[in-house]
Amino acid sequence: MLDISPIALRLGPFNIRWYAVLIALGIVIGVFMACKEAKKVGFALDAILDFVVYTLPFWLLGARLYYVVFNLPYYLANPAEIFAIWQGGLAIYGGLLAGIICLFIFCKKRHLSFFKFLDILAPSVLLAQALGRWGNFINKEAYGSATTKSFLHLALHLPSFIVEGMKIDNIYYQPTFLYEFLWNLLGLALILLLRHRKNFYREGEIFWQYVAWYAFGRFFIEGMRSDSLMIFAHQRISQVLSFIFFCLAVVFVYFKRRKRV
């Protein structure tokens, strides 16, 4: 039976985990996609590369800070692990919020269209998020409620390596990482299929479609998870943010279309 080790490569005392490899792969492919799209729509190509180089540390910081804040009791007791991002623990919403803030400042300084830039980056981010979920699978995190082997194998028809990968402490769990991976891929396919249709999108709408799509799926998938970050003791913070972001996306597109601009 295939058992994937979380460690992809050992270099002396240093271990490089698959989690980090997949994040790096997502970034590389995402940058390639964004550069290709920027060239197609006549956007400044160097701006894509500069933005990634300048703001990647802030994205990682935001993703880690979000995770640490909502696991604060644990990290106060284990402060040495706060910076151990190679072990997992990067929250997507924290990284997105940090990235959007950085992009707004970057666009102001470069005199670039903020929403056009977001439209170019949105598919790349969605792909990177999809790839990152496999890092969660290998780390045995971001899983759902307890289930049975027969449900995973016979009802979902999952390959054996995923079925056995969802066996944690002799209990089988719902592969919520896989549900989100597939949801993200479907959303990516829709954007790539529609984004160059004449007069279909207006500026900013590709980004808000990404937000609405991801938030809608994440709201329900998060409700299935058994390792969610919580707020107010019993409320999943990612569900709260997903609801807010989905509403913001709908409101933006509604008023954008209403103004006919």
Give residue-wise pLDDT tens across range 143-166: 999 999 999 999 999 999 999 999
Considering the chain, what percentage of its residues have pLDDT values greater than 70? 97
Residue 8: inside a domain: no
DSSP strand E in the chain: where?
7-11, 14-17, 146-147, 167-168, 171-173, 230-231, 235-236
pLDDT digits (tens, 9 = 90+) for 95-106: 999 999 999 999
Q: What is the pLDDT of residue 156?
A: 94
Q: What is the pLDDT of residue 111?
A: 95
More confident residue, 225 or 230: 225
Over 90: is that where the pLDDT of 35 sits? yes
Residue 63: inside a domain: yes
Q: What is the pLDDT of residue 127?
A: 94
Over 60: is that where the pLDDT of 261 sits? no
- Element of type H or E holding 19: helix 18-41
Residue 176: inside a domain: yes
Q: How confident is the model at residue 183 (pLDDT cuts 50, 70, 90)?
A: very high
Q: What is the pLDDT of residue 87?
A: 65
User: Average pLDDT of 168-182?
Assistant: 95
Residue 97: inside a domain: yes
Residue 30: inside a domain: yes
Task: Give the domain extent around 210.
Answer: 14-259
Residue 158: inside a domain: yes
Count structural domains, the chain: 1
**Could you tell me if 165 and 4 are in contact, meaning their C-beta atoms sit under 8 angstroms apart?**
yes
Over 90: is that where the pLDDT of 80 sits? no
Of the candidates 46, 33, 216, 203, which has an alpha carbon nearest to the alpha carbon of residue 119? 203
Over 90: is that where the pLDDT of 243 sits? yes
Q: What is the pLDDT of residue 141?
A: 87
Q: What is the pLDDT of residue 123?
A: 96
* DSSP per residue, 203-254: TTHHHHHHHHHHHHHHHHHHTTBSS--EETTTEEHHHHHHHHHHHHHHHHHH
